[in-house]
Amino acid sequence: MAGIDFSTDRKPLTAFSQAGLADIVLLLLIFFLLTSSFIPQFGIRVNLPQTETQAPSDPQYVAVAITSDGDFYVEQNRVPREALLDAIRNAVGDRTAMLVRADRDATVGQFAAVASIAQALNLRVQMASERAGRRP
């Protein structure tokens, strides 16, 4: 019986291909870019009042912000108080609720102005707050 010769003249592979590593890094980059977009980012900074519970904010709400200076923002666009009704009416679309992000130093009168517009447009009003003990 003749023996099988398994010897070869080829040398073992000594170079390492980095293509697989590049694919993994690219996939991780895409993953982190996509998941970071799910974190809500608000452009208008207000100091929210602290409460024991916190209501979730959904894109189904018309977002209205009231700063400590008394400025109004509808969907992150600055709006003068006189044009607030028209700006909210234009932003409503098919939404049925309004999320008000009022600064702690905003007055009750400013909040009442926004809430009365929401009532006139038949919108539910929800006040954004920050959970007690949590600061960004």
Per-residue confidence (pLDDT) for residue 72, from 0 to 100: 92
Per-residue confidence (pLDDT) for residue 127, from 0 to 100: 82
pLDDT tens track of the chain, all 136 residues? 567 777 777 777 677 777 788 888 999 988 888 776 655 555 656 666 665 555 555 568 888 999 888 889 998 889 998 989 899 888 888 888 888 888 888 888 888 888 898 888 888 888 877 766 655 5
Give the domain ranges of the chain.
50-131
Pick the CATH number of 50-131 from 3.30.420, 1.25.40, 1.20.1070, 1.10.3470: 3.30.420
Give which of 129, 104, 128, 131 is closest to 47, Cα–Cα. Answer: 104
Per-residue confidence (pLDDT) for residue 131, from 0 to 100: 66
136, burial (CB in 10 Å: exposed 0-12, middle 13-18, buried 19+):
exposed
49, burial (CB in 10 Å: exposed 0-12, middle 13-18, buried 19+):
middle
Per-residue confidence (pLDDT) for residue 54, from 0 to 100: 54
Give which of 46, 55, 51 is closest to 131, Cα–Cα. Answer: 51
